[in-house]
C-alpha cells in the first residue's frame, strides 16, 4: 500500500501542473487535473452513446492519459516543436512497483496508439475538453479561440466526437441554466412577485 500511496501523491501533482497552452490564449489557467476530470466526463458521455463501446475502458483511458505529465509537465503544440518529453519512460517509471503496473502501462500505451475504438473515443474526449474551453472563451469575448478551433476540430476521429463537437459549437456556454432561470422568473411573475432588481 505504501507504493500505491506514493503513486497517489504523484497523481495529485497534476493539481499543480498548469496546462501550458492557456497563456497563448491570454485567458485564465487550467491544471492538468482539471483537464483530466473534464476528459473523463466527456469520454464517459461519448462511450454511453457509442454502441459496443466498453464504457469502463474509455473512462480508465481518460483517467490515466495524462499521468506522465506529473513527471514531464504539460507541453503544448508550440513546445513540442522544440522539446520532446519521454512519456514512455515517465510511464514506466511511475508504474514501476505498482501491483497494477502492467495494466497502467497497457492503458497508457493504448491511449498513445489510439488504435482501439475505446482509445479513439478517449483521444476525442481529450480534444473535446479543449474545444469546450475554447467555445467558453469565445462566448465571453476572447478572439483567439476562433483560430484554434479549426485546428483542434481537425484532430477528432470518431463520429461521436465530431457530433458532440458540432453540438458544443452550436450551444451557448450558459444554455444549461437558462431554462431554470426562465422557469423561476415565470413563477415569480405568475405569483405577483416583482422581478429581480424590480
Distance CA 41, CA 20 (A): 21
Distance CA 121, CA 47 (A): 7
pLDDT at res. 37: 98
pLDDT at res. 198: 45
The third-level CATH classification (topology) of the domain covering 2-188 is: Hypothetical protein af1432 (1.10.3210)
pLDDT at res. 182: 75
Kind and range of the H or E run holding 160: helix 159-170
Distance CA 67, CA 13 (A): 9
Distances (CA, A) of 197 to 43, 51, 181, 185, 193: 41, 49, 14, 12, 11
Contact 161, 46 (CB under 8 A): yes
pLDDT in 10s for each residue of the chain, 198 residues: 999 999 999 999 999 999 998 887 776 689 999 999 999 999 999 999 999 999 999 999 999 999 999 999 999 888 989 999 999 999 999 999 999 999 999 999 999 999 999 999 999 999 999 999 999 999 999 888 888 898 999 999 999 999 999 999 999 999 998 777 777 777 777 765 555 554
Where are the chain's structural domains? 2-188
pLDDT at res. 1: 96
pLDDT at res. 185: 76
pLDDT at res. 197: 52
Hey, is 108 helix, strand or coil?
helix
pLDDT at res. 130: 95
Contact 81, 89 (CB under 8 A): no
pLDDT at res. 194: 52
> Is the torsion defined by CA of 92, 97, 102, 107 positive or negative?
negative
pLDDT at res. 193: 54
Q: What pTM does this model have?
A: 0.88
pLDDT at res. 50: 97
User: Pick from 69, 60, 39, 21: which is nearest to 132 by CA?
Assistant: 39
Amino acid at each position: 500500500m505504501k507504493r500505491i500511496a506514493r503513486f497517489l501523491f504523484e497523481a495529485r501533482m497534476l493539481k499543480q501542473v498548469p496546462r501550458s497552452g492557456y497563456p497563448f490564449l491570454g485567458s485564465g489557467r487550467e491544471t492538468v487535473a482539471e483537464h483530466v476530470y473534464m476528459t473523463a466526463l466527456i469520454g464517459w458521455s461519448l462511450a454511453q452513446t457509442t454502441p459496443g463501446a466498453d464504457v469502463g475502458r474509455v473512462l480508465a483511458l481518460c483517467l490515466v492519459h495524462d499521468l506522465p505529465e506529473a513527471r514531464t509537465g504539460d507541453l503544448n503544440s508550440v513546445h513540442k516543436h522544440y522539446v520532446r518529453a519521454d512519456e514512455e519512460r515517465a510511464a514506466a517509471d511511475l508504474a514501476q512497483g505498482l501491483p497494477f503496473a502492467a495494466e497502467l502501462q497497457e492503458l497508457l500505451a493504448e491511449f498513445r496508439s489510439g488504435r482501439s475504438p475505446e482509445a479513439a473515443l478517449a483521444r476525442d474526449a481529450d480534444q473535446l475538453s479543449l474545444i469546450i474551453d475554447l467555445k467558453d472563451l469565445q462566448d465571453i469575448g476572447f478572439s483567439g479561440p476562433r483560430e484554434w478551433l479549426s485546428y483542434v476540430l481537425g484532430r477528432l476521429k470518431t463520429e461521436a466526437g465530431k457530433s458532440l463537437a458540432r453540438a458544443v459549437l452550436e450551444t451557448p456556454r450558459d444554455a444549461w441554466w437558462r431554462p431554470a432561470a426562465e422557469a423561476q422568473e415565470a413563477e415569480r411573475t405568475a405569483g405577483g412577485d416583482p422581478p429581480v432588481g424590480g
